[in-house]
Structure 1
Amino acid sequence: MGVLDSVATRVVAGATVRFRPTGNSMVPLIRSRDLVAVAPVDPAAVQVGDIVLARVAGSVYLHVVSAVDTAGGRVQISNNRGRVNGWTSHARVFGICTEVDGTARPRLDGKLR
């Protein structure tokens, strides 16, 4: 079980989790080792541009919502470099990034559980 799997488990249980993800796929939105906060989310409320913690094809990512299929109850997840991870159901969207290095993320109203 990886770090993001552990974070997902805690978020699903209702916790807001702060951690420092590594990697450069989300620069400049999130830089490697930035302190981020992820809170439980209502998956049906997420929008394109939100950063979510979601499972896609067996892996957990903290990536951007790049498309929404409301009728199908799913979202498309991508990194911030143009790579699409794929579509995932609302049931696999665990949390939303609420803060990056002390700066609140925009458009959170009505999305938190």
Structure 2
Amino acid sequence: MLDLMAGRVAAGATVEFRPSGGSMVPLIHSRQLVTVSPVDPTKLEVGDIVLARVAGTVYLHLVSALDARGRVQISNNQGRVNGWTSHARVYGICTAVDGKPRPRLAEKIRKP
């Protein structure tokens, strides 16, 4: 399902879906409704929740670090680092969880 959502967001759509799993608790609980919009990855900050591909797998996880080479480190909210990925593989940013807006989004959403 995350692969499908990543494709839609990469094409410019804002999507809503209910991811399952407990790796993002307490930020996102299993089956909570999330909204994800296209993102300008150059504007990301540590703590943003993004839809990104790391080593062939799509995750809805946290930005845990950024480097000067344009890479983003993706981790869950339980301390597990998934790895580094390029800006081109960061498709979207979580803008809301169960309708509650996420902070610091104003300049991060990519406009069509």
Counterpart of 2:64 in structure 1 is 66
**Structure 1 residue aligned with 2:25:** 27
- For the pair 1:48 / 2:46, whether they are aligned, the reply is yes
**Secondary structure of the residue that 2:3 maps to in structure 1?**
helix
- Provide the rounded CA distance (Å) in 2 between the counterparts of 1:89 and 1:14: 18
Q: Per-residue displacement from partner, 1:51-70 (whole Å, max 9, x unpaired)?
A: 0000000000000000011x
Question: Within the alignment, does 1:83 sit opposite 2:80 as a pair?
Answer: yes
Q: Identity of aligned pairs, percent? A: 75
Q: Which runs of 4+ in 1 moved over 3 A?
A: none
1:39 partnered with 2:37:
yes
Determine if the alignment matches structure 1 residue 105 to structure 2 residue 66. no
- Number of the residue aligned with 2:90: 93
SS at match of 2:6: helix
Instruction: Give the distance between the partners of 1:46 and 1:81, measured in 2 at CA.
Output: 20
Q: What is the TM-score when the length of structure 1 is the normalising length?
A: 0.96
The CA deviation at 1:38 is: 0.2
Deviations 1:48-107 (CA, angstroms, capped at 9, x unpaired): 0000000000000000000011x2001100000000000000000000000000100000
Scaled by the length of structure 2, the TM-score of the pair is 0.97
Distance in 2 (CA, whole Å) between partners of 1:20 and 1:58 is: 21
The alignment of Structure 1 onto Structure 2 pairs a total of residues equal to: 110
Local SS of the residue matching 1:14: coil
Structure 1: give runs of 5+ residues left out of the alignment: none
**Structure 2 unaligned residues grouped into runs of 5+:** none
What does 1:7-18 align with in structure 2 at a 5 Å threshold? Answer: 7-18=5-16
Q: CA deviation at 1:109?
A: 1.3
Deviation at 1:40, TM superposition (A): 0.1
